Amino acid sequence: MSAEFIWKLWNQQYGLPQENFYSDLLHTSRNLLDFKVPQGLQMNFTACPSSTFANSHRLTIFPNIGGSLSFLHSSRPFAGYRGTKSVSLNDVIDGYRTVNEVQSPLDPHLQEIWHRGRRVDFRDTLLYGRLHLPRSKLEAIFARRLSPTRQLILTALSSATLPNGGTIFAQLQQDYGTHTNEWIYNTDDALIGFRHMRQLGADPRDRILRALAETEANIAETGEAIDLLTELPFPQVPADLPLSAYGRFSAGMEIYYGALHKSGGISLGMRFATLPFYHGHPRTMTLTVNPLVGHLSSTYTMKIAGLATLCSRLDFNIFSYESDLTLGGEVWHYPATRHKKTQVGIRLGDEPEDRLGFERADIVTLDSAKDKELVPSGVVKAYVHSATLMGGLLWEGRVKDFLVSIGGRFDLSKRAFGAFGVEMQYGA
């Protein structure tokens, strides 16, 4: 448990959904193929003395002695924060992320809070700082929710090893439901950029307007209204439709220019991800293109029965014809006592035939609502590159009241095991 987890928790509760932005396009594949392994022996202690303040202390014992001090303050309470003893591993460990249906942004008037004729609501704000010792490097984050559709994030880094003693990264995010914008600026090389992501498909606001029109028509005919809370959340999709009807297709681009070095770049990307109501195995597919350097990258990720996730990534350069295939995944472990109560079936062949046209065969997967009560005890992650035969291995889980991460990197060509590390986290 660290202050970074609380920052992520705050962003989920009060910030904009990051899955809608271009910078988060490859989130799932990065969690499975580019995960970080601990270095040396590290210990992290986090405390939350109040609902709006938290502090974290990290100590590195081996190979070098060092550490960091972190402090975090929020204008709104941290709802749902729990210590390492009771926190869910699914919330702490980053893995496969299910993309939700496109949501319509809230009307600004719906977020107003009035008391005795005066507005008492305020913009959600977060302050985060971390001091690295003995290198005396300082990090800081300022996040502010400007409106229901806009969010500002300022990241600063101060260090004697950086040019001009430090750098500031500014990011303005705009989320309009069907499309998002990101305006970025970096003082390091006077870089300015723009990112755009569009969610292709039906506009959720059109569905709301249709439901309101149906409600008015129904009231005029029968005098009864339609319950919008039960009619709108998930559309009724027939089971015989193609896979595209159960997913969300997103396409975006990024363009940036550095005034200091007078160089720029552009990239294009697209993603298809299944929605939560998809009846099969959740999957995510992405394709990114950088035309200036001729780099192509495609990923395919599939979640099997809620226990395992497989991921592959192919990188190819059209100028040098160099390619690299990366394979990886994760396997979750559940206590054996819980497995005795649940029959897990993995569909490897054809799906079972319908008995009565609407009833499925008795195959239970961990994606069902009943199986979500299962509490995982750990997860194993691994990946390997086909070009260099280098990879990484990581185990993350709970030991008593601690969250423990054990992992390292290996080189199959030399049959050697490289960096190895252990990290222990405790949060109260």
* Domains of the chain as residue ranges with CATH: 3-104+119-233+247-334+375-427 (2.40.160.10), 335-364 (no CATH)
The helices-and-strands tally (H runs, E runs) of the chain is 6, 21
Q: What is the pLDDT of residue 359?
A: 40
303 C-beta neighbours (distance < 10 Å), count: 25
Q: What is the pLDDT of residue 108?
A: 62
pLDDT in tens, the chain (428 residues): 566 778 788 888 888 888 899 999 999 999 999 999 998 899 999 988 888 898 999 999 888 889 999 999 988 887 767 788 888 888 888 889 888 888 766 666 666 667 677 765 667 899 999 999 888 899 999 999 888 889 999 999 998 888 788 999 999 999 988 899 999 999 988 999 999 999 887 555 555 556 666 666 666 676 655 554 444 444 555 555 666 677 889 999 999 999 888 899 999 999 999 988 888 899 999 999 999 999 999 999 999 877 899 999 999 999 999 999 999 999 998 876 544 444 444 444 444 444 433 344 443 344 444 444 577 889 999 999 999 999 999 999 999 889 999 999 999 988 888 888 999 999 88
Classify each residue of 152-182 as buried b or exposed e, where b means 16 or more C-beta atoms within 10 Å of its C-beta.
bbebbbeeeeeeeebbebbbebbbeebbbbb
Q: Please provide residue 230's backbone torsions phi and psi, each rounded to the nearest 5 degrees.
A: -95, -20
Q: What is the pLDDT of residue 362?
A: 40
Taking the CA atoms of residue 337, residue 339, residue 341 and residue 345 in that order, the dihedral angle to the nearest 10 degrees is: -170
Q: What is the pLDDT of residue 173?
A: 95
